A and B are shown apart, each in its own frame.
Chain A
Amino acid sequence: MFNIFDLKKNYGKTEVLKSITMRIDDGEVICIIGPSGSGKSTFLRCLNLLEEPTGGQIYYNGTILDNKLDSKRLRREVGMVFQKFNLFPMFTVLKNVMYAPMHVKHTARKDAEEIARNLLEKVGLADKADSYPSQLSGGQQQRVAIARALAMQPKMLLFDEPTSALDPELVSEVLTVMKNLRKDGMSMVVVTHEMGFARDVSDRVVFMDKGYIVEEGLPAEIFNHPKQERTQQFLNRVLGGVSYE
C-alpha cells in the first residue's frame, strides 16, 4: 500500500526524520517501537499527511503523494487512532461514530447509524451509544475512537500509542479489539510500547531511533536475536531483562 523512500521531516533546524525507507503491504500489521522522541509519531503522521514531509517520497498504491489535495482522498482510506482518543466531546458516542460518514461521505443518516451501531457492537460498546465521551473510561473511549475510524471503512489504520494514556487494567480491552481487527485482515501500523502485543500480533517489527529505522524484521528475530546493539539496549531497558520466549 505504502512505499516510502528517504522520507525526511524537519521542524526548522530540528531533523526529526532523517531518512526513512520502508514499504507497507496490504493486510500487514506493523509495530513501530523505539525510545520516545525518536520520531515514531512524526512518521505515522506523515503517512496520512497530518505532517507535510520535508523530503523524500511517499507512494500510496503507486501514486506519489505530493500535494495537500491528495490528503482528503488518502484519509478516507487510511484512518488514525490517537493516544488521547480525541473524541468529539459535545456528541454522544453514536454521533461520534456516525459523524464522519454522514458529513464526509454523505452517507444517509439511517445507513450511517446502522454502520455505527454494528461497529459499537463489534468493540463491545453497543450499550454506550447514548453516553457522552466524558462518561466513559479511557479504554472505552479508545474503543469508540477505533469504531469512529472504522466507520469510514478504511483500508488501513494508524495507531499512535493507543494504550499509553490508559490505566494498566484497561489496556487489554483495547488490545483485544485490535487483535480482532487483525483477524478481519485490517492493515495496521501501530506505534506501541506494548512489547507483548508487538511480539504476538505483528507481522513485522520496526525499531526506530533518532529519526532512523535502525532495524526491522519478524517479531521473533527482533525480540530474540536483534542484530543491532541499539535495539538490544532498548529491549533490555523496556523488557527489564524479562525474556519473552
Chain B
Amino acid sequence: MHLDLLFIQKFAPMYAKAAVITVQLACTGIVMAILTGLLVSIVRYRKIPVLSQLFFAYVQLFRNTPLLVQLFFLYFGLPKLGIHISGPACAIAGLTLLGGSYMAEAFRAGLSSVSKSQIEAAEALGFSHMQIMRYVIVPQALAVSIPPLCANVIFLIKETSVFSVVALSDLVYVAKDLIGLYYKTDEALLLLVISYLIILLPVSLLASLLERRIRYAGFGNTGIV
C-alpha cells in the first residue's frame, strides 16, 4: 500500500477541526447524559409514582434503539410534527437521551448495591433522609457505578460517529467528504482511525486508572470488591 503523505499532511488540520467539534458535542452530551441518568435513577430509586414508570419506559425505549435511529427521528421526524431543531442540537439531544438511559442503569446498579441495613444504621444515628442520600448512599453507590459509568462514556464517544447523518461536519463527515472528492480512501480512513484513537485512548486510560484506584481502595478488601 502506498500512502499519499502530502494528502495526509494537507488534510490533517481538517480532521483536527472536526475532532474539536466531535469532542465538544460529546462532552456536552455526556455531561447532560450523566445528569439525566442521575435524575432518572433517583426518581426510580425513590419509587416516585408516575414519574418512576415514565422514566422506566424512557430507559427501555432508548436503550433498545440505536442512536442512528434516534437521530433520524429527531432530525427528520420532529420537523414533520412542526418541531425544528438544528443539527448540533439533535446530536446533543440524541446523546443525552441515549446516554441518560445507560447512565441511569449504571447509577441504579450503584444505588441498589447499598443495603437497607446501611440506611438503618444511618437513621439510628440521627441522619435525615437527605443526609443519608448524600453521606451514606451516594459515596457507596458511586464506587459501584464508576466502572459502568466509564464504559458508558467511551461507548458514547464512539457513538458520535453517526453524527454526520444530521449534517454535522464531524470526523466521519470529513472522511466521507474527502473520499468523495479525491478517492483517497486509505488516507482518509487512516486519518479517521487516528483521530478517534487520539480522542479515545486518553479517556480509556483515565477510566482504567480511576477503576484501579477504586479497586485498590477496595475499602480494605484484598480481593475484588
Which A residues contact B (CB, under 8 angstroms)? 48, 50, 71-72, 75-76, 79-80, 82, 84, 86-91, 99-100, 103-105, 131-135, 148-149, 152
Contacts and interface: CB of A to CB of B under 8 A. Distances in A.
Contact of B123 (A75, A89, A152): A75
A133 B219 contact: yes
22 contacts: A50-B123, A72-B126, A75-B124, A75-B125, A82-B124, A86-B117, A86-B118, A86-B120, A87-B121, A91-B219, A100-B126, A103-B127, A103-B131, A103-B135, A104-B125, A104-B126, A104-B127, A133-B220, A134-B219, A134-B220, A135-B220, A152-B126
Chain B interface SS verdict (over half): helix
A198 to B, nearest CB: 23
Interface of B: 117-118, 120-128, 131, 135-136, 139-140, 143, 219-221
Most buried by B among A79, A87, A100, A133: A100
Given A86-B117, A86-B118, 14 more contacts: A75-B123, A75-B125, A80-B124, A87-B121, A88-B136, A100-B122, A100-B126, A100-B127, A104-B131, A133-B219, A134-B219, A135-B220, A148-B125, A152-B126
B28 to A, nearest CB: 31
A106 to B, nearest CB: 11
Contact of B128 (A72, A80, A87): A72
Nearest to B223: A134
Given A134-B219, A134-B220, A88 B128 contact: no
A149 B128 CA distance: 16
B124 to A, nearest CB: 4
A24 to B, nearest CB: 17
A100 B125 contact: yes
**The 7 residue pairs across chains A and B that have the minimum distance between CB atoms:** A132-B220, A86-B121, A100-B125, A80-B124, A75-B126, A135-B220, A104-B126
Most buried by B among A72, A89, A152: A89
A148 B118 CA distance: 13
Given A86-B118, A90-B139, A99-B135, A134 B221 contact: yes
A128 B91 CA distance: 52
Given A86-B118, A90-B140, A50 B124 contact: yes
